[in-house]
Structure formats: structure tokens, C-alpha cells
Amino acid sequence: MNREASIKELREQSEIVWDVLVIGGGATGLGVALDSASRGYKTLLLEQSDFAKGTSSRSTKLVHGGVRYMAQGDLLLVMEALHERGLMLKNAPHLTSDQEFVITVYSLWEAIMYTIGLKFYDLMAGRLSMGKSYFISRNNTLGRLPQLIPEGLKGGVVYHDGQFDDSRMALALAQSCVEEGGLVLNYFKVTGLLKNDNGQISGVIANEATSGEEFSIKANLVINATGVFADDIARMDNPRSKPTIKPSHGVHIVLDKSFLHSSSAIMIPKTDDGRVLFAIPWYDEVVVGTTDTPLDAISLEPIALEKEINFILHTAEKYLVKPPHRKDILCIFAGLRPLAANPDNPASTKEVSRRHKITLSPSGLLTIIGGKWTTYRRMAEETIDKAIKSGFLEKRKCVTSTLKLTTLMINNSSSRLIIYGEGLYEIEKIISENPELGNPIDARLPYSGAEIVWICRNEMPFSIEDVMARRTRALFLNARVSSEVAPEVARLMAKELGLDVKWQEEQVTLYNKLISNYL
């Protein structure tokens, strides 16, 4: 992935008509672009900000069927997601892992209900099951979760789901799309749609962020995969189009691993206000969340509400021996669920389906909204199939169910650098040529200078934030420490990308301003 070369290619091919042009570089758009490119269609993806800047870097990081949706009776969604969970673990083993969860139970009725329910969850996964679920005694539960408050505890139910690094997965999809012949560009905002004499969409107008240069790009099919922003694109097509998205805010906090002190995750199935709360080990810390607050305003940089943070802290304090306080929080992150609105009950998000929705406008804008990270592949397959059925593309078979996002050769590596796929070898080479770059950028973060250098050469970062938030997860793991190392990251980036001291200073100022949103 090379931004300058890609922009040059776009400029040189200005007369080309793309088969598929995808707007939006989150899980949905990148999944669609990869599906399209791997079927051999000429594919371009444009992202207004950075890949996964929106919701796709702010998830709970679970590759899951959704125990909660099973409780709500949405069995088809759970079954589909469990199947996709299995495929994601097979096709991206370097970014996904098996995570053991323990549901805490406080009565015989809960013990029976969750044991049976989770047996059913296993069965629904079929041959892609991740391991059996079973009831464990009170002592066994406390052995696995030594930080759990023992009062009233009757035992636990163990089950397995997948866990992943969401923004690194997004980058792996972008990289794979390029490997399959597609072109992906970040910091390219679509500002309008082109239409032919028949009123049919024939391409887009897009602006490149650094120069403001405007591009008119022709395409046979334009796909709107912009998550919570999908209605903005729909209004470019038809200014009178009705809202289809009901956004919902979800907040997580990150705490030091000592608060959980376990490799097992806790799942609290019913908090005081009827929600689910997870405390999950992630890298070397613990992610706790989430909330579900209906919102009207949408933003690329949503900020957690104080009441959401307090809700998480107060709930965690009821279950954890060491109660977390505001000052213990390493990072707070908020994301917006792009839920498909229920036209009969527009105010609610609880009853709004978590399923995705694909629609085709009379002028040919294909829109995909809703869904989950876990089901991105299936959503993409259905979107391209719909385009074929609607006559936009010639028929070709989907190949992503077995498409590996990295080569099998590196699957056995236990190196932490495996998150960069085959980049692992190049990073090792950078370190062997310049051993100083092998040192961590800070003892409290797991990243080395060599990783920053490799990222600059291969993953199109544009700002310190791109490196800290999505290519590494430094911002999410420890916002304050990430701010302390910002000048050093800026220096490494400037050296690689040929930028001056002024750029470094501006970037550090911008980054320090940004991190207040995460504290």
C-alpha cells in the first residue's frame, strides 16, 4: 500500500470506468472491496479519513455469534455470525484468537439457564465450534477469576468466543484488497455523485485531503458503505431520502490487567439496567464495556458521556475486588453502532435489528448498513451478489470464505509481530540492520521504532493518530503514555516520510488535543 503511487495511478487512469467503487473504509467497505477485487472486478475504495477511523476501530473486539442476541431470540443472526466467526479465525489466524469467557451465576436458575443456553450456542456453531461450554463450581470460578467478588456467587458457565484486533483486521483487508488488484485510498472524501443523462449514478466526485485536488471518477457501480454516515451519501443521490440509520453510542474503558488478573474474560449477562457487560483481557490490558445509548448526532470522533463512564465503573465495582476509579482508566473509547432504523419505532435501539440491510436506490446506489464486524465477509458477499443479480456486474463466484488474509507460512510464528502479517519479516530485517530500532518506544507500550518505520513504508499513515490509534493500538492501550511518546513517533515518521520539523510540531499539538477525547 503506497498512497502516492495509488493517487498517481488514479490520476493516470482518469478515463477508466471502475467496475465497483466503494465509499467507506471501515469493516463493511473494506470487506466489500476485497470481495469485489478477489472476484476479479476492477475495484476502487475511497475513505474520507483513515481506514477504520469510524466504528471499526472502536468495537468490543469480539468475533462472536452474540450470546445476547441468542437471549433476544435472533437465532438466525447468531447462527450466521457463528459460522462467520469460524471463517474469520481460519482466514486471519494472526489477528484473531480463542478467548475463554466465564458467565458469573448467582442462583440455581441462572446456572441451569446459562448452561443450557450456551450448550445451544455451541451446537449452533456446528463444526466451527470453538470448544464446549460447561458449568463450573464456585471455587473453580474464583480460581479462574481471582479478582471476582465471591459474595453470593454460586458458580460460573465457561464458553468460548473469538477475539481480534479490529483496526489491524481492517488494514489486513485493505492490504489483501490491494494484493487482489484493487486500489484503496484513505483521506479521500466523496463529496458528490455523478449521474448520466438517464439519472443513473455513473461515478463520484472526491477530494484528496492534502491538496484539496478534486477527482471525477467514473464507475459502473457505486456502493455506499459509510456506516452511520450512509444517509449523507443517500442524500447526495436523493435529497429527499428518509433516514435509515438509528445510531447508538457504545463506550468502553481500558484498565490495567491487575483489575482482572486472569486470562479468562468475565461476562455479566444482566447489569442493573438489563445490559451485558464484558471485562476482557486485550493485549496486556483489560477492556471493559459497553453501553448502548441512542444518539441523534453523528461524528467521526464520538466522545463518551460522563454517565456512560460512571455506569461502567459502578457496574465493574460491584463485581471486582479492586474497584476501578476514574484515575485508573488508561483509555476511554466510544463508537457509534450503525443500526438499521426500525421505521415503526424510530426512537429505540434495543429492538432495532443488529442484522445488516442492503438496498438499491432507483438511480443505482447500492447501500449496505448495519451488521457486525464478525459478519463483514458475509455482508460483502451478499452485497456483490445483489449487484450481480441487479445486472451491474457479470456473474462470478465469491471466493472469500477460503481467502487467507496472510500466508499460511507465518501461522506458526509466536512472535508478537505476527499482527503485521508477512511484515513480520521486514520488521525483523529493519531491526537487524539497525538494532536501536528494536527498542520499545516506551517501556509501558509493546511497540518498537522498527514497527513505526515499517508502518510508514507499508500502511499509508498520514498522521501520528493513524499510527497510535489504528496501526499500533498505543492510544487505546494507554492514552497518556501514547501522548508522551508522540514526539518520538513524529520524529520517526518525519524521517521516513520526508517531512519537516514544523510538521512534527503540528502533529504533536494535534495529537495532544485529540487524546483528551480518550481520557
Q: What are phi and psi of 445, to 5 degrees?
A: -125, 150
Three-state SS at 344: coil
Q: Which is nearer to ligand FAD, 88 or 418 (CB)?
A: 88
Q: For residue 75, report the phi and psi dihedrals to the nearest 5 degrees.
A: -65, -35
For ligand FAD, which residue of 23, 130, 340, 352 counts as binding (CB under 6 A)? Answer: 23
- With contacts defined by CB under 6 A, name the span among 43-51, 317-325, 413-421, 423-431 that binds ligand FAD: 43-51
Site for ligand FAD in 178-197 (CB under 6 A): 189-190
- State how far the alpha carbon of 434 is from the alpha carbons of 12, 293, 394, 430, 498, in Å: 37, 48, 50, 6, 19
Among 20, 29, 451, 479, binds ligand FAD (CB under 6 A): 29
Rounded to whole angstroms, the Cα distance separating 74 from 79 reads 9
With CB under 6 A as the rule, give the number of residues binding ligand FAD.
Answer: 39
Q: How far is the CB of 217 from ligand FAD (least distance, A)?
A: 12
Which listed residue (48, 175, 367, 463) binds ligand FAD by CB under 6 A? 48
> Please, what is the minimum distance in Å from the beta carbon of residue 79 to ligand FAD?
15
* Least distance to ligand FAD, CB of residue 194, Å: 14
Binding to ligand FAD by residue 349, rule CB under 6 A? no
| Only segment of 26-34, 279-287, 322-330, 389-397 that touches ligand FAD (CB under 6 A) | 26-34
**CA 88, CA 510: separation in Å to the nearest integer?**
35
CA–CA separation, 310 and 328 (whole Å) = 13
Is 224 near ligand FAD (CB under 6 A)?
A: no
CB of 65 to ligand FAD, least distance (A): 10
Residues between 225 and 254 with contacts to ligand FAD, criterion CB under 6 A? 225-229, 250
DSSP strand pairing (277-282 vs 285-289): antiparallel
| Of 338 and 449, CB closest to ligand FAD | 338
Contact with ligand FAD (CB under 6 A) among 371, 421, 423, 449? 371
Under the criterion CB under 6 A, does residue 463 sit at the interface with ligand FAD?
no
Phi-psi region of 124 (alpha: psi -120 to 50; beta: other; left: phi over 0): alpha
Among residues 156 and 338, whose Cβ is nearest to ligand FAD?
338
Half-sphere exposure of residue 193: CA atoms within 13 angstroms, side-chain side: 27
Judged by CB under 6 A, does residue 162 bind ligand FAD? no
**Cα gap 317→259, rounded to integer Å:** 10
Non-local (6+) Cβ contacts of 370 within 8 A are: 338, 339, 340, 353, 354, 355, 356, 357
Backbone angles phi and psi of 494, in degrees to 5? -60, -40
Q: Whose Cβ is closer to ligand FAD: residue 189's or residue 257's? A: 189
Binding of residue 449 to ligand FAD (CB under 6 A): no
Question: What φ, ψ does residue 440 adopt, rounded to 5°?
Answer: -65, 150
Cβ closest to ligand FAD, residue 382 vs residue 451: 382
Counting contacts by CB under 6 A, is residue 337 touching ligand FAD?
A: yes
Residue with Cβ nearer ligand FAD (189 or 457) = 189
Q: Tell the smallest beta-carbon distance from residue 514 to ligand FAD (Å).
A: 16
Q: Does residue 262 bind ligand FAD (CB under 6 A)?
A: no
By the rule CB under 6 A, 99 interacts with ligand FAD: no
Who's near 293: CB < 8 A, 6+ residues apart?
248, 249, 250, 251, 305, 308
Q: Does 124 bind ligand FAD (CB under 6 A)?
A: no
- Please tell me whether residue 21 binds ligand FAD under the rule CB under 6 A: no
Residue 25 lies near ligand FAD (rule: CB under 6 A): yes
C-alpha 406/C-alpha 91 separation (Å) is: 8
Pick from 373, 391, 17: nearest CA to 168: 373
Does the protein bind ligand FAD through residue 355 (CB under 6 A)? no
Rg (CA), the chain: 23
User: Coil, strand or helix: which one is 253?
Assistant: strand
Strands 17-23, 214-224: parallel, antiparallel or unpaired by DSSP?
Answer: parallel
H or E element in which residue 112 lies: helix 108-125
28 forms part of the interface with ligand FAD (CB under 6 A): yes
Among 86, 155, 269, 335, binds ligand FAD (CB under 6 A): 335
Establish if 302 lies at the interface with ligand FAD (CB under 6 A).
no
**41 Cβ contact partners less than 8 Å away, ≥ 6 residues apart:** 19, 20, 384, 393, 396
CB of 222 to ligand FAD, least distance (A): 11
The residues near 404 (Cβ < 8 Å, ≥ 6 apart) are 91, 92
Q: Quick one: 89 or 437, whose CB is closer to ligand FAD?
A: 89
Least CB distance from residue 519 to ligand FAD, whole Å? 18
Confirm or reject binding of residue 59 to ligand FAD (CB under 6 A): yes
Binding site for ligand FAD (CB under 6 A): 23-29, 46-49, 53-56, 58-62, 64, 189-190, 225-229, 250, 290, 300, 335-338, 371-374
